[in-house]
């Protein structure tokens, strides 16, 4: 019974898992990028859109921009006291950051 309580005696939520923050932190920016493509460049197929955005490294700016949504997700988990889920969102954001750095210097 003690395993369901945190150090301060509050009940731990079953939703406070690392993957609960990691999965939406990875999917949400990608989904926003997909919706951006569908809304603004639906006349291009996905491969042409990627080539088009690669021309001035616009794709890096778009990835960075859509990753900002993770900030709201992070604070949502923090305010709900889901620290492990917030850590998952932070991990997803770091993965996107590594992706941008890898693409930038490739």
5 within domain boundaries: no
- For 45-80, b/e burial (b = at least 16 CB within 10 A) is eeeebeeebeeeeebbebbeebbebbeebbeebeee
Indicate the length of the chain as a whole number. 106
- pLDDT, residue 7, reads 54
Has residue 91 been placed in a domain? yes
In a domain, 7, yes or no: no
pLDDT tens digits along 75-91: 999 999 999 999 999 99
**Domain range holding 84?**
12-104
Whether the pLDDT of residue 8 is over 60: the answer is: no
Helices (H), 2-106: 18-40, 46-54, 58-67, 69-79, 83-104
pTM of the model: 0.82
- Span 21-49, pLDDT tens digits: 999 999 999 999 999 999 999 999 999 99
Q: Is 93 domain-assigned?
A: yes
């Amino acid at each position: 019974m003690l395993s369901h309580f945190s150090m301060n005696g509050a009940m731990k939520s079953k939703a406070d898992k690392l993957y609960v923050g990691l999965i939406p932190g990875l999917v949400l920016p990608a989904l926003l990028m997909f919706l951006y493509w569908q809304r603004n460049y639906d006349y291009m197929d996905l491969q042409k859109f990627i080539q088009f955005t690669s021309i001035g490294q616009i794709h890096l700016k778009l990835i960075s921009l859509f990753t900002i949504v993770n900030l709201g997700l992070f604070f949502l988990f923090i305010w709900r006291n889901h620290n492990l889920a917030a850590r998952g969102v932070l991990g997803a954001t770091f993965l996107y950051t590594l992706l941008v750095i890898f693409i930038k210097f490739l």
